[in-house]
Structure 1
Amino acid sequence: IEVFHKTIKYENVYRKETYQSFYEAREDIEDFIDYYNSERLHQGVDYVTPDQKYNGKADEIIDERKKKHQSAIDRRKRLNRKRKSTAA
């Protein structure tokens, strides 16, 4: 929870000049909490959102990323081999 408090202060609250009212501050913080949980990727949970982790979607997302990464590596290796064979 300490990390959350630091994050909300430095990424949201401290960037504002001032809030005009308690209600404006409350609404802004509620919006940030929604963003923090549903859109912002978190290093501590393998760069998925807390909502994705909580709803059991994280493993599927991480597996898909790994597949894309491996596909990019394989494609790059093929291109490099092709370049070497045509350069020789």
Structure 2
Amino acid sequence: MAGCPAIAADALARAPRQGQRAQRVERWHKTFKSTALRPAARTSIDDARRVTADFVEHYNARRLHSAIGYIAPNDNFAGREAEIVTERDRKLEAASDLRRRLARQHLCSLAPRLTARRSPSGASMSSPASTAGQCMRQ
């Protein structure tokens, strides 16, 4: 099949009853047109080529694809999926630990006000000092 010299792309031949391939190609073109080509009128063929090259580089090297585990296709193709997932899990665990620590600090800062309340019998429930000590130990 003849290629399109304007964007240096070849038409993809597809086997009978392989409709999903055509759907993927059509979806790619829709995304390309709506995000790169149409937002600003292209003034020259060189401008269109530059925009196309930038979009293809973004689509393959930086954009995270949900179908392949939110990994860029170039990283997936190069076999870096396990490394990326491990690093992502490490970052998520660190963020979770930070949120727990910050929540604990916030609760400890509220402890003196909470412990100053009286029990129904009128006695103080616990002293702020003991509550602060508990917060520091955690």
TM-score band, normalised by shorter chain = 0.7 to 0.9
Partner residue of 1:49 out of 65, 72, 82:
72
Q: 1:30 to 1:82 in 2, by over 3 A?
A: closer
2:45 is the counterpart of 1:25:
no
With a CA cutoff of 8 Å and minimum separation of 6, indicate the structure with the bigger relative contact order.
1
| The structure with more helix, counted as a fraction of residues | 1
How far residue 30 of structure 1 moved from its aligned partner, in angstroms, is: 2.8
TM-score, normalising length: structure 2: 0.53
| 1:12 partner SS | helix
**Deviation string for 1:66-88 (max 9, x for gaps)?**
21111111121122223323422
Shift of 1:24: 4.1
Any stretches of 5+ residues in structure 1 without a counterpart?
Answer: none
Distance 1:13 1:29 in 2: 8
User: Could you tell me the TM-score, scaled by structure 1's length?
Assistant: 0.77
> What count of residue pairs does the alignment treat as equivalent?
87
Equivalent of residue 2 in structure 1, options 26, 50, 53: 26
Is 1:81 aligned to residue 116 of structure 2? no
Give a deviation string over 1:37-78, Cα, whole Å, max 9, x none. Answer: 112222222222110111111221122112111111112112
Question: In the alignment, residue 67 of structure 2 is paired with which amino acid?
Answer: G
Question: Runs of at least 4 residues of structure 1 off by over 4 A?
Answer: none
Q: Which residue of 1 aligns with 2:37?
A: 13
Larger gyration radius, structure 1 or structure 2: 2
| Identity among equivalent pairs (%) | 33
